[in-house]
Every structure is written in C-alpha cells, then in structure tokens.
Amino acid sequence: MARYLIGRILSAIFVIWLVVTLTFFLMHAIPGGPFSSEKVLPDQVMANINARYHLNDPLSKQYFDYMNNMLHFNFGPTFRYEGRTVNDLFAAGMPKTGALGGLATVISLIGGTVMGVVAALRQNKTADYFVTFLATIGISVPSFVIATFLQYYVGYKLHWFPPVGWGEMKNLVLPAAALSAYPIAQITRLTRTSMLDTLNQDYIRTAKAKGLPGYVIVFRHALRNALIPVVTFLGPFFAYILTGNFVIEFVFNIPGIGQFFVTSISNRDYPVIMGTTVLFATLLVTFNLLVDMAYTIVDPRIKLTGRKEA
Amino acid sequence: MIRKKKWMATVLSVAVILGLVVTGCGSTGGGNAAAPKEMKMSWNPGAEPKTLDPQMSNGIPEAIVELNLFEGLTRLDKDSKPQKALAESYTVSPDGLKYTFKLRDSKWSNGDPVKASDFKFAWMHALDPEAAAEYSYQLFYIKNAEAYNGKKAKADDVGIKVVDEKTLEVDLEAPTPYFLSLTAFPTYYPVNEKWVKANKDWNTKAETFVSNGPFKMKSWAHNDKIVAVKNDNYWDAKNVKLTELTFNLVEDGKAALTAFEAGQLDGMDNIPVQDIDRLRAAGTLKNTPYLGTYYYRFNVTRKPFDDPRVRQALTMAIDRKTLIDKVVKGGQTPAFAYTPGGIPDAEAGKTFRQVGGDYFKEDLAKAKELLAQAGYPDGKNWPDNVSILYNAGASHETIAQAIQDMWSKNLGIKVKLTSQEWKVYQQSEQKLQYDVARAGWIGDYVDPMTFMDMFVTNGGNNQTGWSNAQYDADIKKAKSTGDQKERMTAMHDAEKILMTEMPVMPIYFYVNNYVAKDYIKGIMRSPLGFIDFKNATVEK
C-alpha cells in the first residue's frame, strides 16, 4: 500500500509538471498579450510595462523563474487586478467555490442515492418512472440552461430565492441546485441499476429467507455493494464540479475562482492562467487518488499494489 | 473493522463538506437593515474594477467608481464643461502654457488635509517608468512628462511644481485648451501621499482605502460588490444626498438584467442586444449620447482597397438606417463623418459635428460608377479572398453579415467573414493582417482631437496603412495652437481629407443604453461613459 502510494504520488507530480509546462508554452504561443488593447499604447509605455512584469525576458528564463516561484507557493501578481496577487484571488475565491461545490456534492450524493434506491425498490412503478424521467432531464439538459431556467422562474418569477448575488445562505440554493442537476442524475441512474443487480443476488435472498426486516436488508446488505459503481463515478464527478462551476458562477455572479479559469485566458493574465492550471490539476489528481483509495474501503476485494498481479 | 473504517470515512467527508460550507458562507454576512431617512442606490458598472488606484486604471467601470470616490481639480458638469472643484481658483498664462491652481481647504476621508503635494505625488506616480501605468500618456501634455516616462528626463524636470501647500503650478508642452477637462479625469486625481506611502496596496481593500470625493468606501467584496457611503469630509458634502451607493459588480449582462427586474439593482449599463426591443416597448430603456464611432477600417496596403474609389464606393453602398433599426437596434445615429456629435466647436452653442456637417451620402448610382471606374463594373474582376474581420461576440457578427449582404446586393461584390477572438483580432488589426476590419473608438476627452489624431502617419491607432501629408500637417497645426478657432478649422480640414480619402468607413455613432428605476433622479451621465452620482437622489 505504502509503495503503491509513493508511486502514485510521484506520477501525480510528473503529471502536474507536464500540464504546467505545456500550459506555460501554449499560453505564450497564442497571439495577443496581457496588455494589448483596442487602444494601442505608446511604445515607451509598453516598454515600461514589459520591463515591470519581466515580459521581455527570454521565455526560458520566464519559465524557470515561474517554476522556482511556484515551488515557493508564490504564484505571482495578477496582470489584470493591479496590486493583487494570484494567491489573493484564490484566498478570496476558494471558500466560495468550495461552499458551492461542497453543497452540490452533498445534494448529489444524498439525493442521488435516495432517488436511486427508491426507483430500484419500486421498479416499473410510478415512482420509478418519475425518478427516471427526472434523471433523463438532468443528464440531457446542460447546466447553464438549468441555471438560467431556475434563475428566471424560481428566482425572478416566483421570488423564492434571489436570482443573482452572494453573501447569504439563500443565495446558495439556486446555484447549488443547478450545479448538482447532472451529478444527481448520474448517481441516481448508477444507484438504481446496481441496486437492482444487487437485490437479485443470492445473499439477499438468504437474508430475506432469514426473515430480516426490509430496511436492514436494504441498508446493511444491499446498499453497500450497490454503491461501488457510484464510487467509480466520484472521479469524473469532482472534475465536473470543478469545471461546471465556471458556468454556474458566471450566471449567478458568484465571486468564486471558477470564473478565472476562463476569463484569465481571454485576458491573457498569464499568472492567473498558470495558477488556475496548477490548482485544478492538483485537485483533480488528488481526488482521483482519493477515489482509488476509497475503493479499498468500500470493496475489501480490491487491493492497491505497485505491481500488476494476475 | 471494515465497517468502522467506512463510518470514519463517511463522518470525515461530511465534516469536510460542512466545514467548506460553513467557512464559505460565514465570512460574508449580508445584513441590510434599513434605517428610515437613509437614501440608498445600487448600480452595476459592468465589471469588477481592475484597480481603483486612479493613476493605474484606464477603463470605464473603474472610472465610474473612481469618479464618485475622488475629486480632482475640476469636475465636469452636465454639459461636460469643467467646473472648479478642489481648485478654488486658477490662472492661465497668456501663452496658455502655465496653469496655476489655488486649492480650497478640504480633507481626505481619514481627516488629513488635501495638499498640492498630493497632486504632484499622484501624477508623478502615473508617470514613473517603474510603475508602468497604461494611462500615463494622459499626462503627456505636461512639460517633460513624456520624456520622464520614457527615461529621457529626470523627475525634477517634469513641469509640476508645488509652490506652497495650497498652490500647484503646471507647465505644459503646448497650449491645450481642454486641459481643465483633463484635470477632471481619474488619471489627474490626487492621492493621499502620507497615507499611500505608509500603506502599500492601500487601494485593494476598503479598510485602507482613503479618498476625497463625494463618497468613501465602506466595503469591497471582490467580484461581488463595492459599498460606498457619503463622505462627510467632502468639501461639498452638503450637496450629496445619497447616504449609500452600492456598485454591484455583475459582468454577465443577462444576469444583471434579471437582477434589475427582480429589484436587486436600481440601474445598469451594458444592456444585452436581445432585450433592447422588449425594454424599449416597456418604456424602461433610457439612453444618453456616447462619444464613440463604430466604423470599418480598410487596409489600404492591400488590393483592391489601395484605390480610394473602391473605399468610397463601399462606404456609399450600405444602408445605415436599416442596419441600426433591424440589426443593432440600440437607437444609434447613422454616421456620415468620423467625429461624433456632442463636442463643442469654437463657435458658442455649436458642436463640431454641426459645423462640419455630413461628408458623404448613401448613393448607389454614384457607388456603382466609382466601382466601375476602379475596374470592377458590377463587381466583375473583384478578387475572391476579400474578407471582413471582426471579433467574436456582441452584435459584430450580425452587423458584418448585413453589410456583406448589402455590398453583394448593391454592388455585386462578394466578401467573406472572418471571426477572431478579441486579442487575436486586435493583433491582426495592428499588424495589418486583414482586408476590412470592424472597429470602434470611444473618446478619451471631450475634444475632436481624441478622434482626429488617430490617423496621422504611423500613428499606433491608425492601423489602416493610410498616410496623408496634408492631414498630418493639419493635425500638427491644431496641436500647436491654443486658439480654439484656428484649432477647430485645422481639424475640420483634416476630417474633410479623411472623409474624402476614406481609409475608414463610418457606420454609426454610439449611444449609451441603460435602464434605471423611475425613482432614481439626478444621476449625471457623461458622453465618455462616466456616471456621476454626486447629486443623485431616490424619490420613492
């Protein structure tokens, strides 16, 4: 296990390095710079800017400087927001993105599991059809459509929750609902399918024959095994929560970090592009590792080893 | 054992998630208990300000916020005329080169007195080559300012002199009749020297933000909102009626409009095009003049646009009114000249546009004739690969499609459309890698010069490859004299050349479309896009 972990961590570091390096050179390859604008600056002003931000240094020097700073957790100043650093932006935005993503995670996991179990227990009955219908909508309608829909009808027409903004619990409801629509649908489908599968297993029949009450069978015996495929989904799930955040944050004007993922590129804000890349790459790699470790907890048959075993 | 692990994992993950939720929400508590006689207003300036350091900023959202937090030597009134603000009085030398300002007694929001040295400190910061301010060139009218910024002169050579605590003397490079308008511009605002030196990054958070305008900052939640309250230390505080002014920083126009209609916002700019018709029909849409021109550039270094007759023909062959009514929809004015209306001419009561008049007409017969003379009768021999370049987004694409269609129907010529991402498009324009390119220009100050000096030979904003010696001479003449009549005549001459040679095709003059609740009164909108809330009131 320890050996496996060390191997995984080393390969994770390699992946992050590769992503960061590729991003660095790609970013400098696209036309237009952080300070190019519709109104062209006088040459001498541009020269001063390039000197201040070291944009005139050879690319290799900029690269090594960046890597060096990165190792010291210094992600540099943002070019767009004068006087603030990438670390400042992240410190301000992370808790908000985290709160939204966290709430969406809770809603998806609980809601998805419950709906999946209900659908499986009531297979081919009204409740099952209803849940399947909802799940199909959740999977096929993009989150920005759901977000706009909720914002307009639930926020603006019904006045149940504020349509945009941040600061209070009630501001979180619509964005979290929009963000969890897709994962909740996926988890529902996965839970339903594997629950149906599990309920037909011999040991469930044995449990029933022993005369155990229904809730014990469902919660103690069936659900645990039924959740293994759901754990598999957690890797892509976290990736979705991270990237899906951007759209949701934009629509509801939430001051998180998701927006920087895209706006930094159109602004050519090099340090923020790099910062978001490092951050998101690290989070994804870490989540994937955690998911792999979670397998061993949920399913004791799986062993993590460094070698491939037959 | 296994079960225990599972439980631990569950408990742990729930704890982590709850932790995130709690920390995320707990930090920003939104209490808005309204006390009675308060007067509050909220506005969306369109984006999170890049910075609120007046010397380092150069955008409209930044200027809107700064205008209400700071006060310069002058402040523009509702007719865009500069009125004395922090300057109690001023004198101008007969040659127009030396301005001497006497400051009134006034205080910063932290109680410090505003001194002449605060102005010098701020202006020198904007010019400092190390600070690398993008808008440093707004100060290049001052003697040796440009040389100092280009490291060709010493700081002491710059023509800003603090005579005493209340007297500021400014020497200019050349007579600049609109200098008093410039001193109302954010780059010319003072900052509190003592405070700024003691507080690095003072302008990034509310706790350290010190200003001297009608309002002072109470809180700044980045990318969310800025709350400003009335500044009791402001010299003219008795005329400020609002007790609280909130800037909601919403970048998505659609989301902002929903917030406005749901009553979360009192007013906003940047109305999405698709909502304009609906808002106009509902009577909610308001507009004010905006000092800007939407136009197409011709790359005169490429065939067939090296021939002025082709450029003239294309310019005459589009129907601007239809384009505005059916595509742009914002109630803009068709443009038959380059400089928009709203800029005063030398003659009292007349604008530069009224004196200059229209320089061309939409005339299909004439356009066909010119095109035939140039060797393309009814579009024959027209090259295959001519294309209109525009940046993706907004209505640029639909406008380009309409113009493509009009040229095809009216002149029988085919052009393609090329869309590029914003910064890529800018680079293509600057490197002359286009045939015809969409462009827009918003004035920096209320004088025709902000439009006319763009097209001098090799000017950074020319971007057409066009060059004309007489035009250059006219602009040079206008820049060297302080005599308004002489200046305006020279600029009229220059515009006539520009509109005969036609390196650019004017399409429309901008208007500023916005929405505001009916109980909002007294906001002052400048044609430069700024909004002054100093005299605003809420009358419910």
pLDDT tens digits along A74-124 = 999 999 998 899 999 999 988 999 899 999 999 999 999 999 999 998 888
Residues 160-189 of A with CB under 8 A from B: 162-169, 172
Architecture of domain B289-512: Roll (3.10)
Tell me the average pLDDT of chain B.
91
User: A18 in a domain, yes or no?
Assistant: no
Q: Decide: A99 and A247 in contact? Cβ < 8 Å.
A: no
> What is the per-residue pLDDT for B13?
46
Residues 131-150 of A with CB under 8 A from B: 148
Nearest CA in chain B to A171: B25
Q: Which of A36, A42, A44 sits opposite B426 (nearest CB)?
A: A36
**pTM for this model (two decimals):** 0.86
pLDDT for A4 beyond 90: no
Nearest to A35, CA basis, from A79, A77, A83: A79
- Give ∠ CA B434-B438-B440 in degrees, rounded to 5: 135
Check A45 against B134: CB less than 8 A apart: yes
Sign of CA dihedral A255, B274, A262, B511: negative
Number of domains in chain A: 1
pLDDT for A309 beyond 80: no
Please measure the distance between the N-terminal and C-terminal CA atoms of chain A and give it in whole angstroms.
Answer: 17
Mutate to test the interface with A, among B12, B16, B17, B248 (most CBs of A within 10 A): B17
Residue with tokens 């060297």: B480
Distance CA(A306)–CA(A5), nearest Å, equals 8
User: A58 in a domain, yes or no?
Assistant: no
Burial of residue A209, with CB atoms counted within 10 A of its CB: 0-12 exposed, 13-18 middle, 19 or more buried: exposed
In which domain, by residue range, is A268 found?
Answer: 93-309
Kindly report the nearest CA distance between residue A15 and chain B, in angstroms.
26
- Per-residue pLDDT, averaged over B58-63, amounts to 92
Check A93 against B223: CB less than 8 A apart: yes
Q: What is the ipTM of this complex?
A: 0.83
The token duo for B229 is 């309250």
Burial of residue B121, with CB atoms counted within 10 A of its CB: 0-12 exposed, 13-18 middle, 19 or more buried: buried
What's at A154, amino acid-wise?
A: V
> What is the per-residue pLDDT for B21?
42
Of A27-41, B310-324, B495-509, least confident by mean pLDDT is A27-41
- Give ∠ CA B381-B386-B390 in degrees, rounded to 5: 155
> Within an 8 Å CB–CB cutoff, is residue A159 touching chain B?
yes
> What is the per-residue pLDDT for A304?
67
Mutate to test the interface with B, among A27, A28, A35, A48 (most CBs of B within 10 A): A48
Residue with tokens 């052009």: B415
Kindly report the nearest CA distance between residue B204 and chain A, in angstroms.
7
Going from the C-alpha of A45 to that of each of A80, B101, B130, B132, B146, the distances in angstroms are: 16, 28, 10, 6, 9
Q: Please, which residues bridge with residue B73 across strands? A: none
* B110: helix, strand or coil: coil
Q: Which of A31, A88, A251 sits opposite B424 (nearest CB)?
A: A31
Residues 244-303 of B with CB under 8 A from A: 248-252, 254-256, 258-259, 261-262, 264
User: A65 in a domain, yes or no?
Assistant: no
pLDDT classification of A60: cutoffs 50, 70, 90:
very high
pLDDT classification of A287: cutoffs 50, 70, 90:
confident
Residues 197-236 of B with CB under 8 A from A: 201, 203-204, 221-224
* B67: helix, strand or coil: helix
* Residue ranges of domains in chain B: 71-212, 289-512
> What is the per-residue pLDDT for B150?
94
Q: Domain holding A271: CATH number?
A: 1.10.3720.10
Q: Please, which residues bridge with residue B225 across strands? A: B221, B248
> Within an 8 Å CB–CB cutoff, is residue B33 touching chain A?
no
pLDDT tens digits along B385-434 = 999 999 987 789 999 999 999 999 999 999 999 999 999 999 999 999 99
Burial of residue A74, with CB atoms counted within 10 A of its CB: 0-12 exposed, 13-18 middle, 19 or more buried: middle
> What is the per-residue pLDDT for A272?
94
The token duo for B233 is 């230390």
User: A265 in a domain, yes or no?
Assistant: yes
Distance CA(B256)–CA(A165), nearest Å, equals 10
* B206: helix, strand or coil: helix
Kindly report the nearest CA distance between residue A304 and chain B, in angstroms.
16
> What is the per-residue pLDDT for A293?
82
> What is the per-residue pLDDT for A306?
52
Q: Which of B6, B423, B461 sits opposite A40 (nearest CB)?
A: B461
User: A82 in a domain, yes or no?
Assistant: no
pLDDT classification of B199: cutoffs 50, 70, 90:
very high
3-state helix, strand, coil in chain A (%, to 5): 75, 0, 25
pLDDT tens digits along B493-507 = 999 999 999 999 999
Q: Which of B136, B254, B422 sits opposite A45 (nearest CB)?
A: B136
Check B224 against A167: CB less than 8 A apart: yes
> What CATH number should be reported for the domain whose range is B71-212?
3.90.76.10
Chain B residues near residue A165 by CB distance under 8 angstroms: 224, 248, 259, 264
Q: Decide: B147 and B157 in contact? Cβ < 8 Å.
A: yes
Residues 262-281 of A with CB under 8 A from B: 266, 268
Residues 410-439 of B with CB under 8 A from A: 421-424, 426-428, 430, 439
What's at A214, amino acid-wise?
A: G
The crossing angle, in degrees rounded to 10, of helices A228-252 and A86-121 is 130
Q: Which residues have a Cβ under 8 Å from the Cβ of B374 and sit 6 or more positions away?
A: B304, B307, B309, B310, B313
Q: How is B346-363 classified by DSSP, letter by letter?
A: SSTT-BHHHHH-------
Q: Which residue has the higher pLDDT, A305 or B368?
A: B368
Of B29-33, B92-96, B138-142, B535-539, least confident by mean pLDDT is B29-33
Size of interface A-B (CB pairs under 8 A): 186
User: A127 in a domain, yes or no?
Assistant: yes
Kindly report the nearest CA distance between residue B139 and chain A, in angstroms.
12
Check B149 against A167: CB less than 8 A apart: no
> Within an 8 Å CB–CB cutoff, is residue A35 touching chain B?
yes
pLDDT tens digits along B430-482 = 999 999 999 999 998 889 999 999 999 998 899 999 999 999 999 999 999 88
> Within an 8 Å CB–CB cutoff, is residue B89 touching chain A?
no
